[in-house]
Amino acid sequence: MKKQLFLLLLTLISILSFSSCNQKNMQQLKEQVEKFNDVCPISYGDMFTLNSVLLNEETVEMRFSANGNATSISALNNHKEELKDIMSIGLSKETSKRLLDNIIEAGANFRTIIVSGQSGERAIFDFTSNELERARNKYSNMTESQKLITNRVLGAQIRLPLQVDYMTTMTGISITSSDLVYKYEINDRETGESFNEMKGLMKSITMSQINNQITQGDYLVRESNRQFFQALINCGQGVNFEYYESNTRNRMSFNISVSELKEILSGEFQKDAPSLDEWNDFAKALEELEDLFGDDYD
């Protein structure tokens, strides 16, 4: 469910950033909305379809159908206020700024309606004109890269704690002046002194995974990941990974620098890097060895 919520967030941010309008009053807003509606339905991959854009009295309504199950809609409803913050940042981005300005100047409201294609369950997100204006003022001094990073961090915080694999849980994510910081807890294994000895290997694996995130899988997610890491580079921020082993209380951390992020995005890092499927097969093999021989198989 949490992975699906993450994909929903990425798609929503992309959709909200796509829309634009440059009219100054309600009538012109109505005409622009009608033109937008004429090109519906618009498919956004496997997750969403934008079915209609309407001006309902004084509210611009975007109606989507979601291909996810009812649990996905429930996840949206359980985090409405946090998701409204994320959507507000998306609406304040340069690519949708004209739409935001136009709605505010017309004194109109904004509503996003997402309906499950399977159950009919829905999530509704309402923004008054005043809320939109406050969001515009709040985020007006942020760069586009800062907005993108903030959106990603807020979206990830909603999903915490997040089970990454059978022994790893992501427990925190935050942004500092120099780094994006991920925090993880390792459970159910006595790593002992070898924990810090794994630092080099874990950094190499993580860099390979970042490489795979921008080169493999769904186009929307892949490009969103690329834009995110480019935003970190633009802001001069690397990525710090902090691990805590609960059984031994050992700690370990490593940093992927801005220059290393540039290397990954340029395609120069490990051109023959293992695919995500290959890493998953490797992890599965390790689990099977542990089951067969116990923790001392190495």
Domain map (residue ranges) of the chain: 2-141, 160-293
Query: How large is the C-alpha radius of gyration of the chain?
Result: 22
Tokens found for residue 104: 């505010």
The architecture (CATH level 2) of 2-141 comes to 2-Layer Sandwich (3.30)
From residue 37, alpha-carbon distances to 42, 176, 186 in Å are 10, 41, 49
Which pairs from 228-234 meet CB under 8 Å and 24+ separation?
228/148, 228/149, 228/152, 229/261, 229/264, 229/265, 230/145, 230/265, 231/144, 231/145, 231/146, 231/148, 231/149, 232/145, 232/149, 232/180, 232/258, 232/261, 233/258, 233/261, 233/262, 233/265, 234/143, 234/145
Q: Is 191 helix (H, G, I), strand (E, B) or coil?
A: coil
Tokens found for residue 276: 């995500």
The residue to which tokens 């979601």 are assigned: 66
Q: What is the pLDDT of residue 165?
A: 84
Q: What is the pLDDT of residue 70?
A: 45
Gap between the Cα atoms of 123 and 87, Å rounded: 14
Gap between the Cα atoms of 150 and 169, Å rounded: 22
pTM (whole model) above 0.75:
no
User: Does the domain formed by 160-293 have CATH 1.10.10?
Assistant: no
Q: Which helix (H) or strand (E) holds 43?
A: strand 42-44
Largest Cα separation within the chain, whole Å, is: 73
Are both 2-141 and 160-293 of the same fold?
yes
Please list the rounded mean pLDDT of every run of 10 residues in the chain (298 residues). Answer: 59 55 66 85 79 91 77 81 89 80 88 88 93 91 93 88 89 94 82 69 88 87 92 97 89 95 87 57 59 54
Gap between the Cα atoms of 277 and 223, Å rounded: 19
Nearest-5° Cα angle at 259, 160 to 10: 35
